[in-house]
Amino acid sequence: MGIKFTEDEKIQFVEDWRTSGLNKKKYAEQNGLVYNSFKTWKDKTKETQKKNFVEIPSINTLQEEKIKVRKNGIEIELPAEMLEVVLEKLSAL
């Protein structure tokens, strides 16, 4: 029986793999992971990301005022008037 990893550990392995430049099989091998288990973690992480995806309605106006949000290397720029809509969607998660 193999080592049991927490969900957070599994997510961390998947995130590390994405930046490693290795294919899944090589990454699993180098990190002492069972390939099929690692592949399942990756697929579940992808499903979770799809469930947590929040669609933000498009506003087709030319506005000069923009809001930039940066978190963990991700940057989002959106019209200032959308801030309230975005915050409502995110608070519903």
pLDDT at 77 over 90: no
Q: Is the pLDDT of residue 25 over 70?
A: yes
The predicted model gives 23-29 an average pLDDT of: 94
Name residue, tokens 């506005």.
Answer: 63
Contact 22, 30 (CB under 8 A): yes
Render pLDDT for 43-65 as a digit per residue (tens, 0 to 9). Answer: 887 766 666 667 776 665 554 67
Rounded average pLDDT over 22-42:
93
Tokens at 33, concatenated = 């992971």
What pLDDT is attached to residue 47?
67
- What is d(CA 39, CA 25) in angstroms, rounded to the nearest whole number? 9
